[in-house]
Amino acid sequence: MMLLWACAGVPLGAYNVAANFNIALQIQPQILTVLSLITWIQCYHYDGKWGPMKCCVVVGVAGAIFGAVETGLIFALKDAVQKGRHWAMTLIGVISAVLLCAGVLRHYDDIYVHRTVRGISFIFVEIDAAGDVFSLISVLYFNFAPWARQKLRIKAQQVRRSEDLTRGQTNTEGGISDAISLQELPSSTSVFLTPSSVASLRTSVVSQEQVDD
């Protein structure tokens, strides 16, 4: 169980770092791997009678290997994202989730085989549950806050665009009405109508109609 969780921390840490999550989510997989390795090696120290030096060497080698693999995965995932290969991020996320689930199912398999719960610690369960809750809150804040800001920004842009469009239509209609009014108004000299001015006005109207046709 603990070894599976230690292995799960490697792809999970690479995923969180490559995705540029907040610091808490980037550190959490590293803590999970370290604590899981320590708990795993304690089983060999107390049950397998391994000496402290041997346990330290095994944990040190395993930690170095896990760290090297995670570092390589981080660079590989960042390069894949830059090239548009987002399936690599999805694959690493799925692998970490599968390993975490396998670690939990291993505990239930042990319960089924031995018909009892061995080595359970309610303090550990409470701490683990609290960590899950805070992780969910962190993920919710990390994803919800940018989403809400983006929605508000888009809505403000739509309102501003609608106001500009309405203002533009109003200005256009006002310009057309002014042009029509100016064309229909006779000149100031038409106040004093004479036969010659009437004939001139008729000629201009006929010419304007011919141009329009």
Pick from 71-80, 132-141, 190-199: least confident: 190-199
Q: What percent of the chain has pLDDT over 90?
A: 23
Same domain, 28 and 46: yes
The string of pLDDT tens digits covering residues 45-62 is 888 788 989 999 999 999
* Residue at 89 is within a domain: yes
Same domain, 36 and 136: no
Q: Considering the entire predicted model, what is its pTM?
A: 0.59
Q: Domain span at residue 6?
A: 2-120
- Asked if 45 and 139 touch (Cβ cutoff 8 Å), the reply is no
Same domain, 41 and 115: yes
The string of pLDDT tens digits covering residues 173-204 is 555 555 444 444 454 444 444 555 545 555 65
pLDDT score, position 156: 87
In the chain, the number of structural domains is: 2
